[in-house]
Chains A and B, each alone.
Chain A
């Protein structure tokens, strides 16, 4: 089975702190994604990466950055956390898409509260 592991399930951070959310996948997938989930808004794409050191902005990249130094690891960085970044963050991965049919697999999520 595909396993996408988010190392921190629950975090509480202070406003202005730099926050790192880590994600590791064990299936040698090329593509990795970060989404945030908010009630009534569904999932929104923050960033994705289609190869090591390659990244592209999603729909809501403001206030976030990402790092992908190794194929299996994709980190989401909040440069200066703010209360409106309190949310559930979901990491996902998939093989390089060939015709769009490949399944995207999700981790268990990281609940971030910024106080």
Chain B
């Protein structure tokens, strides 16, 4: 099965500090990995994706993610957190074993950035 896990339900960080939201994956074959953000009462917004190539992927709003094959991880990072980054973050992997190639999501990590 193609799956991802987000080990932390919540991450707290002070504004201006670096943030990391963790994600590990379990796939057969090459993974296609995604990060989405969800603000309260809104849909999911695409942040970034890893397909192939450089292990460091840059995305929207200053976020980046590091793909680590040996650790099967795809952690989301930002050098300096903003209060406005407070939201729910989802890691996802493309399901390449079924037609349609839907995304399989982690359970989400709530990020709280305090002033």
Contacts and interface: CB of A to CB of B under 8 A. Distances in A.
A104 interface: yes
Contact of A56 (B34, B100, B108): B100
B42 A109 contact: yes
Interface size class of B (residues with CB under 8 A): 20 to 34
Interface residues of A, number: 32
Interface in B11-54: 32, 34, 36, 41-46, 49, 51
B105 interface: yes
Contacts of B51: 99-101
B100 A90 contact: no
Interface string A87-112: 00010101001011111111111010
Given A50-B99, A100-B96, A90 B44 contact: yes
B90 interface: yes
Interface centre among B36, B45, B101, B102 (most CB of A within 10 A): B102
Interface string B94-115: 1010111111111110000000
Contacts of B94: 97, 100-101
A104 B86 CA distance: 22
Interface of chain A, main secondary structure: strand
A107 B99 contact: no
Contacts of A45: 102-104
A104 to B, nearest CB: 6
A42 B110 CA distance: 12
Interface of B: 32, 34, 36, 41-46, 49, 51, 90, 94, 96, 98-108
10 A-B pairs with the lowest CB-CB distances in the bound complex, closest first: A97-B101, A42-B107, A100-B32, A101-B51, A106-B44, A100-B94, A106-B43, A43-B105, A108-B43, A48-B100
Interface of A: 4, 6, 31, 33, 35, 40-45, 48-50, 56, 58, 90, 92, 94, 97, 99-109, 111
